[in-house]
Amino acid sequence: MRNRNAKERYVENLNFQHFTNYVTFTKDDNNFRSKELKDKIEVSVVLDMECVDMLMWD
| Any domain includes 1 | no
Question: Is 34 part of any domain?
Answer: yes
pLDDT, tens digit, 9 for 90 and up, residues 28-47: 888 888 999 999 999 999 88
Q: What is the pTM of this model?
A: 0.49
Decide if pLDDT at 55 tops 80: no
Structural domain that includes position 35:
7-51
Euclidean distance between CA atoms 10 and 48, whole angstroms: 5
Quick check: is 37 in a domain? yes
Residue 35 forms part of a structural domain? yes
Per-residue pLDDT of 5-32, as tens digits, reads 556 677 888 999 999 999 999 888 888 8
Q: What is the rounded CA–CA span in Å between residue 8 and residue 14?
A: 19
User: How sure is the predictor about 2, in pLDDT bands with cuts at 50, 70 and 90?
Assistant: very low
Type of residue numbered 25: F
Number of structural domains found in the chain: 1
2 part of a folded domain: no
Position 57 in a domain: no
In a domain, 56, yes or no: no
